[in-house]
């Protein structure tokens, strides 16, 4: 059984038995699969560091999200997430900077993503200024035919109107309206459970890298 297949198998069982009692009874299996995921994240970080200097020195423990859900203010009282997730960026999972997201979830819900998720207004304003200044450079990344074929349109919450200071007929308005700028690739379980999944993930992240690089340039 591939490592990613064992992770999905555990997460599927967790989804069907999402309780404290089940988790306690299967703690050793959880810890084993958590380590398998941490190893995958470490390999990914090592490879990302080869083409993105911002990832150098980042550790898996900084990047991996807790499996416990925060249910204090939620109507959904499910105790545990049905996925393993890691955000690889300078500063790890708490970072507001551009980075790469690895999400493993059974039921054809796994995701590879890269970009900027809900940045603060200061960072978002810098990104908008860079898109305004270098719209053609930005479009040469996200409107490239190979990019569109693989990742489609950028995803993220969108303003209904133009952001303050920009006209609604701006040539890059659909990008200026975004509140997150994300390249997202959704994967089927069969794509995740291949023996060389880490290589597949790195190839995709490498093709997403120009977006991350543009965003880092804007912010810096």
Gap between the Cα atoms of 59 and 84, Å rounded: 16
Task: Provide the token pair at 210.
Answer: 């120009």
Q: pTM for this structure?
A: 0.95
- Tell me the average pLDDT across 38-49: 97
- Tell me the average pLDDT across 184-212: 96
pLDDT value of position 1: 53
Task: Provide the token pair at 1.
Answer: 């059984």
pLDDT value of position 75: 80
- Tell me the average pLDDT across 47-54: 96
Under the banding of pLDDT at 50, 70 and 90, the label for residue 43 is very high
Kindly report, residue by residue over 81-119, the tens digit of the pLDDT. 999 999 999 999 999 999 999 999 999 999 999 999 999
Strands (E) in 78-191, as ranges, are 84-88, 99-104, 110-116, 181-187
Under the banding of pLDDT at 50, 70 and 90, the label for residue 128 is very high
Q: Across the chain, what does the average pLDDT equal?
A: 95
pLDDT value of position 19: 94
What long-range pairs does 109-112 form, CB within 8 A, spacing at least 24?
109/83, 109/186, 110/83, 110/186, 110/187, 110/188, 110/189, 110/191, 110/192, 111/184, 111/185, 111/186, 111/187, 112/184, 112/185, 112/187, 112/201, 112/204, 112/205, 112/208
Kindly provide the b/e burial profile for residues 114-142, where b requires at least 16 CB atoms within 10 angstroms of the residue's own CB.
Answer: bbbbebeeebbebbbebbbeebeebeebb
pLDDT value of position 7: 97
Whether 2 has a pLDDT exceeding 80, the answer reads no
Gap between the Cα atoms of 49 and 59, Å rounded: 11
- Tell me the average pLDDT across 9-26: 96
- Tell me the average pLDDT across 138-160: 96
């Amino acid at each position: 059984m591939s490592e990613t297949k064992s992770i999905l198998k555990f997460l599927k069982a967790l989804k069907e038995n999402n309780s404290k009692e089940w988790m306690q009874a299967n703690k050793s299996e959880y810890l084993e699969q958590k380590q398998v995921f941490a190893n995958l994240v470490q390999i990914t970080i090592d490879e990302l560091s080869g083409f993105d200097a911002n990832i150098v020195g980042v550790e898996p423990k900084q990047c991996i999200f807790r499996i416990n859900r925060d249910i204090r203010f939620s109507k959904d009282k499910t105790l545990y997430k049905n996925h393993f997730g890691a955000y690889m960026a300078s500063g790890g999972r708490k970072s507001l900077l551009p980075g790469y997201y690895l999400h493993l979830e059974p039921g054809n819900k796994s995701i590879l993503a890269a970009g900027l998720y809900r940045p603060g207004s200061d960072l978002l304003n810098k990104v908008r200024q860079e898109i305004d200044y270098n719209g053609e450079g930005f479009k040469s990344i996200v409107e490239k035919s190979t990019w569109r074929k693989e990742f489609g349109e950028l995803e993220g919450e969108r303003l209904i109107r133009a952001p303050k200071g920009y006209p609604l007929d701006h040539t890059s308005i659909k990008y200026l309206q975004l509140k997150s700028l994300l390249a997202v690739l959704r994967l089927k379980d069969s794509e995740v459970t291949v023996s060389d999944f880490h290589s597949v993930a790195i190839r995709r992240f490498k093709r997403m890298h120009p977006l991350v690089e543009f965003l880092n340039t804007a912010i810096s």
